[in-house]
Structure 1
């Protein structure tokens, strides 16, 4: 009589792994494997690989109601934390704005009357205008070398001024350390697309303040400026409207936080 083990072929073992045998045939294969440890190990490895592949390609189960609620709660908490961080960053700015509003309305100890509403340019704006006028004289002069690359680390080490991250599409026409009443400032001239020639002037103002970006009209030019800490930044555009210049000033200021 032929032994059960002799009747089992490689095709039977493959069919066992692929679950293509009936119960009686599976019993015969399992009885054979109980006497053949090498074949049993190979079959177990094939079964393990088959299960791994099934799990890899299986669709992820749909989350239940409790999991959906937990995910929604986590998403709301993350958004709330982000809003809170933004508010905390703006607290010093809000305090300064409130103090300025109180002074302007005559409600605080530093109130300003209506008779002094017309003010000359802020000192850093006046310095920036002077730096721009000097750069406009320098640019056409062949005897005056121009700088087309910025060494931020060297400029910061020499002046203590941290420059913002400028638009990579702007081309640098010139960059110079410019003397001003506040001390050495950095005057950079860009070719800035639709804005035409754009001057950026940065200087340590001598006081600590946080001033949000805003635009002022000086002559025929729009001038945007802001201050973060001890450094004030002034932008003077050849072309472009107030909104475009204000947006650029806001973008630059955000790179300094």
Structure 2
């Protein structure tokens, strides 16, 4: 015969849910619950919640050998695919760099040496020369304000042009947005010391390319130009020789990689 269940209270029900009663006490509570459907429903809900919490915080089972092998195979496959995607993305750039190097070194039918003045300049170079001529007229004018500080982020936001890392010892004489056939460009005039005054013109010509620095002579000016990605850069100087400007152009182009 079961003990009387008329004295069951909430403490007994909570102990039942927490499995803290012996067999006789559990029978006594179950006898009580058989006559109290509302209390039984509440107890069942509490027990269901307790099992959910136990499962939620239970440690994950250790994977077996087959599962470990499958995970390792999947990891190697994902790593191989990621490396392959990186190589595929670099192939066009590498091909363009190689073609530019061959052209710069004078190898093969694509070789480009120092250009004589009688040949028409590259369209980007022609735009840079026009921008430089406008700057030469503008600089002595008192009515035209000059800019001595460069906000590369603001210029990039306005034009989409990424500027290289210029030598910190260069002093900015002026910087202006200059219209060109290729779109808005950035014309910056520097005082460089040994190389004198250098103009840097950057514009987006509308194509993607990687072109190593080319050096040209235009009248009395030395011109070096290159393109990295979607932006072409032109340097113009009237002092020094082409080899000096070549080194400057190579340093600026390498800062964009």
Please state which band the TM-score falls in when normalised by the shorter chain: 0.5 to 0.7
Q: Which residue in the other structure is 1:233 paired with?
A: 232
Structure 2 vs 1, CA of residues 43 and 139 (structure 1 numbering), >3 Å: closer, same or farther? farther
Q: What SS does the corresponding residue of 2:205 show, helix, strand or coil?
A: strand
Q: Which residue in the other structure is 1:32 paired with?
A: 32
Structure 2 vs 1, CA of residues 75 and 226 (structure 1 numbering), >3 Å: closer, same or farther? farther
1:225–1:249 CA contact under 8 A, matched in 2: no
Question: What's the TM-score, normalizing by structure 2?
Answer: 0.59
Which protein has greater RCO, CA pairs closer than 8 Å, 6+ apart? 2
Q: Which residue in the other structure is 1:194 paired with?
A: none
Q: Which residue in the other structure is 1:47 paired with?
A: 47
CA distance in 1, matches of 2:87, 2:252: 25
Q: What is the deviation of 1:11?
A: 1.5
Q: Which structure is larger by alpha-carbon Rg, 1 or 2?
A: 2
Q: What SS does the corresponding residue of 1:52 show, helix, strand or coil?
A: helix
Q: Which residue in the other structure is 2:85 paired with?
A: 85
CA distance in 2, matches of 1:3, 1:184: 96
CA distance in 1, matches of 2:98, 2:38: 83
Deviations 1:103-132 (A, max 9, x none): 678875x264xxx74457984467557746
- RMSD of equivalent CA atoms: 4.9
Q: Which residue in the other structure is 2:255 paired with?
A: 248
Deviations 1:67-100 (A, max 9, x none): 3333322222222222222222233334445555
Q: What SS does the corresponding residue of 1:39 show, helix, strand or coil?
A: helix
1:235–1:249 CA contact under 8 A, matched in 2: no
CA distance in 1, matches of 2:143, 2:67: 72
Q: Which residue in the other structure is 1:59 paired with?
A: 59
1:187 aligns with 2:186: yes
Q: What is the deviation of 1:22?
A: 1.1
Question: What's the TM-score, normalizing by structure 1?
Answer: 0.59
CA distance in 1, matches of 2:54, 2:140: 73
